[in-house]
Amino acid sequence: MKFTNGYWMTKPEYRTLFATQCVRAWREENELVLLAATRPVSGRGDVLNSGTLEVRFSSPRRNIIRVRITHFAGAADRGPYFTTFPEDNTPEIAIAEDSASLTSGDLTVRALRAEGRWQVDFLGKDGKVLTSSGYHGMARALREEDGPASLEKHGKSYMIDSLDLAVGETVYGLGERFGAYVKNGQSVDMWNADGGTASEYAYKNSPFYMTNRGYGVFVEDASDVSFEVASEKVERVQFSLPGERMTYDVIYGGSPKETVSLYTALTGRPALLPAWSFGLWLSTSFTTNYDETTVTSFIDGMAQRDIPLSVFHFDCYWMQAYNWCDFVWDPAVFPDPEGMLKRYHDRGLKLCCWINPYVAQASPLFAEGAEHGYFIKTTDGSIWQTDMWQAGMAILDVTNPAARDWYCGKIRHVLDQGIDCLKTDFGERIPVRDVVYHDGSDPLRMHNYYTFLYNQMIFDLLKQEKGEGEAILFARSATAGGQQFPVHWGGDNSASYVSMAETLRAGLSMSHSGFGFWSHDISGFEQTAPADVYKRWAAFGLLSSHSRLHGSTSYRVPWLFDEESVDVVRRFTKLKCTLMPYLYQMAVEAHEQGVPMMRPMMMEFPGDPACDYLDRQYMMGDRLLVAPVFDPEGKVTYYVPDGEWYHFFTGEKITGGCWRTETCDFLSLPLLVRGGTVLPVGACDTRPDYDYADGVELRAYGLKEGQAYTLSIPTVKGAPYADYTVTRQGDALKVDTGADKPFKAVSMD
């Protein structure tokens, strides 16, 4: 949201109070408090007829400094609020005549105390300024809606701050964004919307950004936070929100990985997902016709073609049309759901069903929910309803504990029938105007926060019913903290290379936003892809953390595209299964440290400026570089960071610090192993959940004489099984381990 006309002037419809100087500083327990005048104060008369801003600095965790800015303290401040996880932490506070400061670990905030000048600097461990709030940075703006005479009564208030950007500083994150990977120059509003993948809208908005200078900023407000990223003021990131208060955290990790780790420590780490979920998922698709015979034909077809299938998903029409959601299998199509699900379980499959938090008027649950007051209401006491999506649908009031219990009770029956996990679709189209929540929550803040409560509710239910470590969602909407309830997929993309690229950009942006696991609809949701797009996207999708074949109006089984598609899906599904000893250790790291499995290149190589803008390749964990192919001729140009690398498929040794162009057939793509790596390759290529240590092959890439590499192999439940230390000794590899399973070590150079 823009408030200015150029650098000096504000827009005429706003009356803006800028922090101009610190007139008072004091300590309250572990907080440093400043009183900021909004005009220069040189004499007693200057304190009259002018507002102030109270600024409180504290530290919820080491290396994180929280900033709370208040204009009118008496303004209503209804929730919901993001949940954060503070730790015991006592910052150092110093107040001097010319400045005041608070230090938490390696991060310091220092405020200048000088007449007519506002300057707040955030300094890293080397004492250098990371960013600052300075001239016309921190402010409260009041929009004139009915003229100056009635400003305080009728105006709409906004709180603002802006932090400086250095030369060459690039900004990332802010949730799932399908546009340019680097956010400089963009205006970004935190407003969850069902807008597809080819627009400025996003299903998953998270008011957290990080930069290539080793810090991030999290605005702790679930409302419509607006970011101007080097746009309104090209040398700053400005963030604003409606109201009389603002809270934000400056998070200093010193590197991108450490910063995202600190952010997820504050807002919640991703749960560890079951190993079976990393295999291939196949869906009925959305509006296709299907029944048990159709579904079984797909499952049989995959088995006959030797394509390992881990999860089968039933999309919307497992329920009867117009009844979404009643959580009852359509009896005309699935007359024996329990028997069918058992038959699929007996084949080793896990099973997933589609749900959403909406109840159509034709559903038997509508009258039941209406009678007990389980839906969002309007201010006149009516049930809020719409015909958008489902006829006459209402929306579950997730702030009502009784409504949550009722809804979960209906789903519990489906789980008891044999469903293992749930696709929690929608959660973005949440009304704001003239609605009332059971707990009195602010509708504006609930618009984005609804998805947090929705996915938390279902994830907790799955943990209760399936056990710790077995819960997984396939969720479309999210906000800050939603990374605790994985996995999330990228929404309704299209069947083209362009959409494949925008999907990857969204995944990279999600990684910067703390989401450790991520998926997407292979070959696009809308339309039906040409065979070449399907095959290229299958390779990319099966080198993502989670892999799903799903579409809208057509089935996505590979033999409907061409026979080579079968070969491609088989090859990369089996490859992913054999890489599970490595991939699952990366999943454990995402769970324990908050560092995502898919990593943008700049996150793994922050000192390499060539990586700052790379958005068509990524690291899977810290050892594998993946460059998907976005070209019908198979040409791919990608950057190889400094060091030695090895092509996984050809064995070619590559000296980094260069750009490469390859032409790949459909059974290959650039998949590089970092030199100095021992990559564990599993002995099983038919499923993702097996004993990873039994028969594992330890492939050593570019180990130097005397160099040792230690890796861990987890159990299928994520617990550590054993460490392996592989050392190069001449032409041989020495392995030290406490493992009692057979293994072999192989030099790959």
* Cβ partners under 8 Å of residue 529, min gap 6: 495, 496, 523, 537, 561
Positive/negative CA dihedral, 367, 368, 371, 377? negative
Q: CB of 378 within 8 A of CB of 436?
A: yes
Residue of 121, 228, 326, 425 marked active site: 425
Q: Is 428 a catalytic residue?
A: yes
The full DSSP string for 121-160 is: EEE-TTS-EEEEE-TTTSEEEEE-SS-GGGHHHHPEEEEE
The DSSP 8-state label assigned to residue 619 in this structure reads E
Token output for 741: 């399973």
Catalytic residue among 164, 258, 326, 428: 428
CA dihedral (144, 146, 148, 150) positive or negative: negative
User: Please, is 722 exposed, middle or buried when counting C-beta atoms within 10 Å of its C-beta (0-12, 13-18, 19+)?
Assistant: middle
Any idea what the Cα angle at residue 667 is, between residues 664 and 669, rounded to 5°? 45
Main-chain phi, psi angles of 93, to 5 degrees? -120, 130
Query: What DSSP string runs through 273-317?
Result: PPGGGGSEEEE--SS----HHHHHHHHHHHHHTT----EEEE-GG
Strand segments, DSSP code E, in 96-244 are: 99-104, 107-112, 120-123, 129-133, 139-143, 156-164, 171-173, 186-189, 208-211, 215-219, 226-229, 236-242
The active-site residue, picked from 221, 326, 492, 644, is 492
CA distances from 436 to 223, 401, 570 (A): 16, 15, 51
- Give the residue from 236, 257, 269, 254 showing the smallest Cα distance to 84: 269
What one-character-per-residue DSSP string does 666-714 give? TT---EEEETTEEEEE-S--S-S-S-TTTTEEEEEESPPTT-EEEEEEE
Task: Give dist(CA 550, CA 534) in Å, integer.
Answer: 11
Tell me how many helices (H) and strands (E) the chain has: 12, 46
Known active-site residue 492: yes
Cα gap 662→247, rounded to integer Å? 48
**Owner of token pair 């002037």:** 9
CA 575 from chain centre, in angstroms, equals 25
The residue behind tokens 């990223």 is 229
Confirm whether 604 is a catalytic residue.
Answer: no
Residue numbers annotated as active site = 425, 428, 492
